[in-house]
Amino acid sequence: MSGDDVDLVVVGAGPVGLYAAYYAGFRGLTTAVVDSLPEPGGQVAALYPEKLIHDVAGLPGVRGRELVRALLQQARTYSPRWLLGESADQIARLDDGRIELHLRSGTSLTTRSVVLAAGIGTFKPRPLPVGAEFLGRGVDYFVTDPSSYAGHDVLVVGGGDSAVDWALTLQAIAKSVTLIHRRDRFTAHEASVAELHGSDALVRTPFVLHALSGDRSVDRAILRDTASGELHEIDCTRVVAALGFTADLGPLTRWGLQIVDRHIVVDSTMATGVPGVYAAGDVTEYPGKVRLISVGFGEAALAVNNAYVASDPSASLFPGHSTATV
């Protein structure tokens, strides 16, 4: 299938990609946003949606999912085309200089500019070693709607920030929450672990998931105490598998970009070495780079404005003030 035409494609719907999409729309560019994950929000939505973020300008203490919701609302102002669950795979140069961007699904987009806001790359949830066949039938890798866990016996598997955060969030909603981790020590933030131990969640370590059973969906879990080898059967109708993610720049490494330590080298205009391809956010590398959301927002504005001028030299680099719009 080929070739919807947009002025600019943003690869990555993390915080920086969402802001780049808003900015491109603000500049009057037609825009498509591509992300390999089914949900927007990048690391914030996938790894720490319930954490309070304190260092985004103007928002003293915003929960990850609230920040993503606000960025989405802002990005939607100019109605970009959303291609979620789609990976940017390859680019080809057309005779007129435009870029043909091929997605892994076989869809392609024709565009004048690409802004890579690809963060740490495509990240995939680490699968449950057992019970993965219940995915979507009680087993989730993402908690998109905490209220849907009401009345359920929930098993959370993992020892990092997202496992502990989900256990804390869901114990206020679910019938019961059991959290298991294969080690005695958690890698999650100390304060969250202390809160967990003071909460109603049942914490069992060093435990692993031995088996899940159920007819149409999960209804029992068998846990194994790795210290004693004993098996414990519990009621369990929902499982949150929070075993972390693997990240990979994957196909972007074949675009002819200069890549250093899994980051894309850009100049002060956020241009990569490939004409028409810009980058912003965690994925970029340059002297003095700091990987923070606030820095990525500035880079998104730089990338979009510079991409616009490169594709249309009659355009002004300075966008004007947003207060001047109605």
Ligand X SMILES: Cc1cc2nc3c(=O)[nH]c(=O)nc-3n(C[C@H](O)[C@H](O)[C@H](O)COP(=O)(O)OP(=O)(O)OC[C@H]3O[C@@H](n4cnc5c(N)ncnc54)[C@H](O)[C@@H]3O)c2cc1C
Kindly list the residues in this chain that would bind ligand X in the complex (CB under 6 A).
Answer: 11-17, 34-37, 42-44, 47-48, 53, 55, 87-88, 117-123, 161, 251-252, 281-282, 291-294, 296
Minimal CA–CA distance to 125: which of 36, 213, 238, 195? 36
124 pairs with which residues across the strands? 246
CB of 250 to ligand X, least distance (A): 6
d(CA 156, CA 301): 39
Give rounded-to-5 percent helix, strand, coil for the chain: 25, 30, 40
**CB 151, min distance to ligand X, A:** 29
Sequence-distant (≥ 6) Cβ neighbours of residue 316 within 8 angstroms: 309
> Could you tell me whether strands 218-225 and 231-235 are parallel, antiparallel, or unpaired per DSSP bridges?
antiparallel
Q: State the Rg of the chain over Cα.
A: 22
Q: How far is the CB of 39 from ligand X (least distance, A)?
A: 8
State the nearest-atom distance from the C-beta of 145 to ligand X, in Å. Answer: 19
Query: Could you tell me the smallest distance in angstroms from the CB atom of residue 70 to ligand X?
Result: 14
Q: What is the closest distance, in whole angstroms, from the C-beta atom of residue 98 to ligand X in the complex?
A: 19
* Angle at alpha carbon of residue 276, lines to 1 and 324, rounded to 5°: 105
Give the phi and the psi of residue 97 in degrees, each rounded to 5: 90, -15
Intra-chain end-to-end CA distance of the chain, in Å: 38
Q: Which residues pair with 271 in a beta bridge?
A: 278
Report in angstroms how near the CB of residue 169 gets to ligand X at its nearest. Answer: 15
- Closest to ligand X by CB, 64 vs 131, is 64
Cβ closest to ligand X, residue 88 vs residue 128 = 88
Q: How many C-beta atoms lie closer than 10 Å to residue 147's C-beta? A: 6
Nearest approach in angstroms of CB 231 to ligand X is 33
- Strand ranges inside 71-188, DSSP E: 81-84, 88-93, 99-103, 108-116, 122-125, 139-140, 153-157, 176-180
Distance, CA of 158 to chain centre: 18
CB-based burial of residue 166 (10 Å sphere; 0-12 exposed, 13-18 middle, 19+ buried)? Answer: buried
User: 55 or 133: whose CB is closer to ligand X?
Assistant: 55
Nearest 5°: phi and psi at 148?
A: -75, -5
Largest CA distance in the chain: 72
Which one-letter DSSP state was computed for residue 276? T
Q: Which is nearer to ligand X, 43 or 108 (CB)?
A: 43
Nearer Cβ to ligand X, position 143 or 236?
Answer: 143
Closest approach, Cβ 27 to ligand X, in A, equals 19
